[in-house]
Structure 1
Amino acid sequence: MRLNRYMAQAGVASRRHSEAMIVAGRVKLNGETVVSLATQVHPDSDVVTVDDRTLEVPADRKCYLLNKPAGYLTTLSDPFGRPTVASLIGDIPERVFPVGRLDRDSEGLLLLTNDGALGNKLMHPRFRCEKEYHVLVKGVPREDTLQRLREGVVLDGRTTAKAGVESIRRTESGAWLSIVLHEGRKRQIRRMCDTVGHPVMRLIRVRLGGLADGGLPAGKWRALTHGEIEELEPVGSMTG
């Protein structure tokens, strides 16, 4: 297989970003630096390193679902010693990585996998992996405000994609909303709600594609079934 495809399957980066790393001279094949994008790899016999780190492509795809509590970074290490999801998944036997991110203050479902190709596919904007959040906002948004969120608001000079937004219930200090996104800009929901004057007080991801698990306790994980893993492929193939 081509070198960039091998790198993507190992979870290094997308194929395009892998190509940039090859051209930059950061990749070695059997100890020799390669810069040709046409380089072929034989996974059973060749050794590929990036920045002197040996790559491994998983022979058996594994996926897990974690219910991330607030207060944890969606990363496997942090130079400042802050809590990360790595401390919650130490007993997962495979070496896995998070697919996408949840802000430190956000909660809910986070997919982890050892399959770099699947991870890159689900994170790529053109595959439009649908994500649903339950969001507690300050105050009670009017219907016209909800419609603004549905149609899109301007963030960083660009209008957000259309979203599914519905009111779930009121509380003493605000309201719970269901917000469904097909894109994933940095802190997007928090910024959208700030824009319309209803700051987020709590944010929980409750669905990722077809995956939902309301019975998974905070801080716990479970392995996906074979059927659930297979369902991720059609989710990752959606376009629009």
Structure 2
Amino acid sequence: MYETHEAILIGKDIPDQKLCKFYAIVAEDANNNLIPLIYNIEPVEERWKIKVSEEEHKIFKQYFHKPIEELEMDLDESIAPDIVGRRRAKFGVATTLHSPAHLLYDGRLVLAMLRTLLFGDTTTAKTRLLKAVEGMGIPTYIISEIARRTGLVGTVDKDNGVIIWGKLVENDLGYVGLDGIHSLDTEQMLQLREALRQGTVEIVLQHQGKAFARVRMIATVNTKDGMTLDDYPYKCQAILDSRPFSDPTDVT
């Protein structure tokens, strides 16, 4: 649950961690609002801090400078090797999971996390690939039909007067696997598109709040009911004919 409060940091920077313990002196401002004056911060959870040695960096560059065909073959044999004939999809999964959070572009930081769509006919191992990622110990696998009821972005608990953030916020700087994105309605697709584009989620209802939602995402979607990719002169045409992408702005 979430509720927005104003606080003042004294001699401290804004922490990187999502969950922290704050030590503060509480003061009252001119409008009788209680303002915490924070003088110490202890992270409750630590983000992974990976230090790559020069030797590891050298090996990494040698490996990923392989011809793309060799790299795809290696990934095909490493990710869910029991799934055959989906080499390019596995390559997309791997590059999405390894994509950086930000890139420096034209003097400013921009979001660089990849979002990959596994689009196609039913029973083509799309869901199994998402489950394979979960099997690697990388959460979070979400069924869109359930997310449609509970909310990807967040909801307001009217009884307790707080915001309960959805999976996009919970997995900020992480990964979300969204199975069956065609189950989302138009309004939810709008919310999802804005959250992914902005990297933030904002709720303006009885209670207001804003939180980061910078996530890597792999989503699956089936073709239109009764249709297969082979029914289209160009397979890419099936995208605009699918439920979540009936509006071209959703594709972009």
TM-score where L is the length of structure 1: 0.23
Q: Greater helix share, 1 or 2?
A: 2
TM-score where L is the length of structure 2: 0.22
Q: Which has the higher contact order (CA 8 A, sep 6+)?
A: 1
If you compute each CA radius of gyration, which structure gives the higher value, 1 or 2? 2
